[in-house]
Structure 1
Amino acid sequence: MPDVFGNIEHISLLGYLIRTVIVGAIGFFVGRLVSKRAVNQMTTYDFALIWILGAITVSPLLDGKISFTYMLIPLFTLFLWHTIFSLISLKSRKFSFFFNGKPAILIDNGKVVLKNLKRQFFSLDLLLSELRVNNIFDVSQVKYAILEPNGHISIMKVEKENPVTPADMKLTASSTDIPLVIINEGKVIHENLAKAGVDEQWLMNNLAVQGVVDFKDVFLSTINRNKKLFVLKNG
């Protein structure tokens, strides 16, 4: 068994391979332990944290003289630091604004707030581009555009530009549910069959109506609350 954990000046190919596997496992747990907020709603601090964690994690692969001990200590220190500051941010709004940043209003009642654009280093062309992505081609259609701490832009249109909803027309809208996947790449998901209130025989009978004789011929099949079956065949 080659030495892979200590300070190694000339690491063997097998030792390097083992280090790679270990680093991959550590990277997996790093991804699982970092809060979903840090991944999905990345603030400036979250971006810096993940970048540093990535650099520390792969350091034993870049230099054989770096032991896993020297890598794990700063890794867990940063995890502890991130957890503590996240908890403080939840308790203190002022600290959260300092740590994560404040939302900035870029458009106020159809008027671009130039001073906020400059403070956020946000160009007018980029703002107009973000509006076009949201199918807005006229600034006057926007009541508020707010740059969030995670870099996303929240947009509220002026009232006359909002689409009519069933509530506006005093109509009752039918409820919608997410269809259940009951066949995934030829494999029946019995748990979802039970949730839908049907059994395998019912499924087979309804598949036969659509010319399917074997579950393996189905790439994807879903069922909605009205027991309507959607079938996507292989090939």
Structure 2
Amino acid sequence: MTEIFGRVEEITLAGFLIRTVIVGCVGYLVGRSVYKRAVNQLTTYDFALIWILGAITVSPVLDGKVSFTYMIVPLLTLFFWHTAFSFISMKYRKFGFFFNGKPAILIDNGKVVVKNLKRQFISVDLLLSELRIQNIFDVSEVKYAILEPNAHISVIMFDAGSPVTPADIKLKVKPSNLPLIIINEGKFILENLVTAGVDEKWVLNQLNMKHVKEINSVFLATLDSSKKVYLLKKG
């Protein structure tokens, strides 16, 4: 037990494997506990936090002299401070700007703001490539391009270059809802059948119409609001 959780001069192969499993579990729990923002939308502060958490978490595997006690204490400390800073950032806007950074305007009314590009260490080529990813090939069509604190670039087009929506031409559209999964890997999802207002017999009839005799051969089946079944067979 000392070899696993305590300080040792040399880790055996068994101890190394057990420590690796424990570190993996701790890393998973930390990842689930940290706010989703820190994983999906990395700001500068979040980026530094993730790197430090990774280094601390893996330290007992790399060095036998590092016990799990020495790992848990800084992990809990960092988690506490991240929670506190996130809460304060929501309450006080200036504090949030200090830790998360401010948005920077890269294009203003079709003109590139060169000083902001230099300040953010972004070249014109990189800016143009980001625009091309969003199917924009002419800077003059862009009203605003804003570098967000999470390093994403938001683009607002001039009205003439904006895509036409059904509301613009007063076109009535049917409301769209997410399809419900009614069969997953050969098994009925009963709660979704109830939500959709159908039963197993109805679904089996739909499968027969698609020449599917056994439910076990269905990998995935979904049902949309118009009672249309999408089917994916196994293999």
Question: Smaller-chain TM-score range?
Answer: over 0.9
Where does residue 158 of structure 1 map in the other structure? 158
Partner in structure 1 of residue 201 of structure 2: 201
Kept in 2, the 8 Å contact 1:221–1:229? The answer is: yes
Matched, 1:19 2:28: no
Instruction: Give the structure-1-normalised TM-score.
Output: 0.97
Name 1:212's counterpart in structure 2: 212
- State the 1:2 CA deviation: 6.2
**Root-mean-square deviation over aligned CA pairs:** 1.0
Any unmatched runs of 5+ in structure 2? none
The worse-fitting range, judged by mean Cα deviation, of 218-227 and 55-64 is 218-227
Q: Does structure 2 retain, via aligned residues, the 8 Å contact 1:111–1:139?
A: yes
* Segments ≥4 residues shifted beyond 6 Å: none
For residue 72 of structure 2, what is the aligned residue in structure 1? 72
Q: Quote the Cα distance in structure 2 between the aligned partners of 1:3 and 1:120.
A: 48
Q: CA deviation at 1:98?
A: 0.7
Task: Provide the rounded CA distance (Å) in 1 between the counterparts of 2:47 and 2:140.
Answer: 34
Does the 8 Å CA contact 1:187/1:216 hold for their aligned counterparts? yes
- Name the counterpart of 1:141: 141
Instruction: Return the alpha-carbon distance in structure 1 between the equivalents of residues 12 and 234 of structure 2.
Output: 46
Gaps of 5+ in 1: none
Aligned equivalents of 1:187 and 1:47: distance in 2? 41
Paired residue for 1:46? 46
TM-score by length of 2: 0.97
Q: Which residue of 2 aligns with 1:131?
A: 131
Letter in 1 for 2:6: G
Aligned-pair distance for 1:191?
1.3
Other-structure match for 1:169: 169
Asked if structure 2 preserves the Cα contact closer than 8 Å seen for 1:11 and 1:64, the reply is: yes
| CA deviation after TM superposition for structure 1 residue 20, in Å | 1.3
What is the percent sequence identity of the aligned residues?
A: 67
Return the letter of the residue paired with 1:62: L
SS in 1 for 2:105: strand
How much does 1:170 deviate?
1.8
Q: Which amino acid aligns with 2:176?
A: T
Structure 2 Cα separation of the partners of residues 207 and 25 of structure 1: 42
Secondary structure in 2 matching 1:220: strand
Write the distance in 1 (CA, Å) between the matches of 2:171 and 2:24: 54
1:182 is aligned to 2:182: yes
Is the CA contact (8 Å cut-off) linking 1:146 and 1:153 kept in structure 2? yes
Q: How far apart, CA to CA, are the structure 1 residues paired with 2:178 and 2:142?
A: 31
